[in-house]
Structure 1
Amino acid sequence: MNTSTNATAGPSRIIPRKSARPFVSADSRPSEPDGIFRVVLITSGSVASIKAPDIAAALSQSGDIALQIVATKSSTHFCNQQTVDAAVKKSFGISESDEVPEDFGVRVWTDEDEWSDWKKVGEPILHIELRRWADLVVIAPCSANTLAKIAGGLCDNLATSLLRALSPSTPVIVCPAMNTHMYQHKFTAKHLRILQEQLEYLILGPQGGGILACGDEGPGKMTDWREIVFTMENFASMHKHKINQSVLSAVPHHHHQPRPEPARSATPNSGPGSSSGIGSSNGSNTNDVERPKTPPTPGLRTSDILPLPAQLQDLNLSESDNQKQKGSNTPQKDEGYVRPERTGAKQASLAHWKNLQNESYWQNRWWAGM
Structure 2
Amino acid sequence: MVNSEVSWQDFVRKKKEQQERLLSTPKNDDANQNNDLSSTTMSAPTTATTPESLYGRRPHILLGVTGSIAAVKGPRLALRLANELKANVKVVLTRTVEQYFWKEGRAVPTYDRENWIDFERAVATSKRPDEDEKEHTTDWKLTSGRISIHYAEEEWNDYKSLSDSVLHIDLRNWADICVVAPLSAHTLGKIANGLCDDLLTCILRAWDFGNTKKPIVLAPAMNTAMWEHPLTNMQLKTVKSLGREEGKDAVVVVQPVAKTLACGEVGVGALAELDDIISTTKQCLTHMIGNVSVI
In terms of fraction of residues, the more strand-rich structure is: 2
Cα separation, partners in 2 of 1:218 and 1:127, compared to 1, 3 Å: same
Would you say 1:70 and 2:92 are equivalent positions? Answer: yes
Cα separation, partners in 2 of 1:205 and 1:87, compared to 1, 3 Å: farther
Aligned counterpart for 1:146 among listed residues 173, 187, 191: 187
CA contact (8 A) 2:217 2:281 kept: no
Gaps of 5+ in 2: 1-54, 110-114, 126-135, 245-250
What is the match of residue 278 of structure 2?
A: 229
CA distance, structure 2, for counterparts of residue 210 and residue 99 of structure 1: 37
What is the match of residue 215 of structure 1?
A: 264
Cα separation, partners in 2 of 1:355 and 1:132, compared to 1, 3 Å: closer
How many Å apart are 1:123 and its aligned residue?
A: 1.0
CA distance, structure 2, for counterparts of residue 236 and residue 192 of structure 1: 21
CA distance, structure 2, for counterparts of residue 100 and residue 90 of structure 1: 6
In terms of fraction of residues, the more helix-rich structure is: 2
Question: 1:78 corresponds to which letter in structure 2?
Answer: F
Deviations 1:29-75 (CA, angstroms, capped at 9, x unpaired): xxxx5422111010110011111111111123247411101010112
Would you say 1:356 and 2:293 are equivalent positions? Answer: yes
The TM-score, its normalising length taken from structure 2, stands at: 0.63
CA distance, structure 2, for counterparts of residue 63 and residue 143 of structure 1: 25
Structure 1 SS opposite 2:181? strand
CA distance, structure 1, for counterparts of residue 82 and residue 273 of structure 2: 18
CA distance, structure 2, for counterparts of residue 211 and residue 88 of structure 1: 27
How many Å apart are 1:184 and its aligned residue?
A: 1.4
Q: How does 1:40-55 map to 2 (within 5 A)?
A: 40-55=62-77
Q: Which has the higher contact order (CA 8 A, sep 6+)?
A: 2
Q: Percent identity?
A: 30
Structure 1 SS opposite 2:178? strand
Question: 2:193 corresponds to which letter in structure 1?
Answer: G
CA distance, structure 2, for counterparts of residue 85 and residue 230 of structure 1: 22
Cα separation, partners in 2 of 1:107 and 1:211, compared to 1, 3 Å: same
Question: 2:195 corresponds to which letter in structure 1?
Answer: L
Aligned residues: 208
CA distance, structure 2, for counterparts of residue 99 and residue 120 of structure 1: 40
CA distance, structure 2, for counterparts of residue 155 and residue 107 of structure 1: 22
Deviations 1:135-164 (CA, angstroms, capped at 9, x unpaired): 000111111100110111101111110000
How many Å apart are 1:111 and its aligned residue?
A: 1.6
What is the match of residue 223 of structure 2?
A: 179
The TM-score, its normalising length taken from structure 1, stands at: 0.51
CA distance, structure 1, for counterparts of residue 119 and residue 225 of structure 2: 34
Cα separation, partners in 2 of 1:199 and 1:355, compared to 1, 3 Å: closer
Would you say 1:195 and 2:219 are equivalent positions? Answer: no
What is the match of residue 205 of structure 1?
A: 255
Gaps of 5+ in 1: 1-32, 240-349, 358-370
